[in-house]
Amino acid sequence: MSTSPMALLEGGPDGLETRIVPITPPGVELRVAFGGGYERFRVTSRWRDTPEGNLPVYEWVAHVDAKK
């Protein structure tokens, strides 16, 4: 188990392999590289039990093309 704070990603493309990711710093929008750009996720007030423990849930906002 990682010592970094972790979050659970909710929504976004089905092809995202990892749904539990490190967050630095916590509470800031996440950008996850995917499909020639990145997926944006924002923090919610929800938490969910996972194999990594009780984690904050970040929900998908949009895909941003790296060329823009």
Q: Give the whole-angstrom CA distance, residue 25 versus residue 13.
A: 24
Tokens linked to 52: 């990594």
Write down the domain spans for the chain: 6-65
In tens, the pLDDT along 7-50 reads 999 999 999 988 999 998 878 899 999 988 999 999 999 999 99
Type of residue at 3: T
Task: Count CB atoms within 10 A of the CB of residue 39.
Answer: 21
Does residue 18 contact residue 2 with C-beta atoms inside 8 Å?
no
What's the pTM value of the predicted model, to 2 decimals? 0.86
